[in-house]
Each structure stands twice: as structure tokens, then as C-alpha cells.
Amino acid sequence: MEALTESAIRKAFVNQTGGEAKRAFVPDLAAQPWEDLDYLGWRDPKAPQRAYLVAVVDGTTRAIGLRLSSGSAVRRTMCSLCMTVGDAALMVAPRAGKAGQAGNTVGTWICADLACSLYIRGKRKAPSAPAYETLSNEQKAARLEANLADFIARVVA
């Protein structure tokens, strides 16, 4: 993934109002391992129920605001994006546009620290026993990108 600016991230939100995008916590972008990322994901340290992810899908940068599902805790399960078995949380995203304004959401299980890219490349070790896979890192990255594109399409639809 190519490095993004804070301004580009804030402009890319598809399911947040302008005010929400302006107030969203953005991590230190200079400290990100851009060459190892398929998407940038982070949790808000002041509001740990909030999370964000930014990805480039079909040449367009998309940012999604997420929140941990109410009553949902982090648990040991499989991430729907990277297929890593570890600490995952059920995260929900308001749908874009009028559907989101009406309260409609899309949810999926995502690595609780949103570090899918680092797990599939072996840069970070999952907290549970690794599942045996015969896929290469490139194939895992392609699967992650496809699953991420599908999730973002469900939010934007």
C-alpha cells in the first residue's frame, strides 16, 4: 500500500459525516509499515469501541468507520478478512448514505488490532496456534484484498 496523508484519509470516509471524519483519530502515519500493508486499520485509543480502516479498492481510496458490536467482546475466532485464527471482534460499519443514516449496518469479524496484513506476512504472530495453510504470502494477500473489497462494497452498496 502506498503511504496516505491525513487529509486523504479524512476525505475518503464513505460512511461518516464530514464532522465525524474531521474528529476521527488518525494514527502517526509516518510510523506505519506501508510496504507491508494491504489496508491501514487502527482502533481509537480514547474510544476503544471505535475503529477505522482505509483501503484502496479499484484505484479509489475508501475509509470506513467501524465500531465494536454492542455486547460483543474480543474472542478467539477466525477473522473474516485474513482468515487468521486469533483475537477477533465483531465490528460493524454504518452503511453509506441514506441506509446508514437510517441505522443500517454491515458487520464482520475482524482481527481486533486490525493487523491482518502483518499476520498474513508473518510480521506479527497471531495469539493462537497458527493454522496450517499451503498458500503463499502473495495468495494470502490476494485473498485478504478480495475479502476486504467485498466488505467495503457491502458498506457502500
Q: Rounded to an integer, what distance in angstroms lies between the CA atom of residue 64 and that of residue 44?
A: 13
Reported pTM:
0.90
**pLDDT tens digits for 83-127?**
999 999 999 999 999 999 899 999 999 999 999 999 999 999 877
Annotated domain spans of the chain: 6-156
- CA distances 91 to 3, 75, 122, 155, Å, are 25, 12, 24, 12
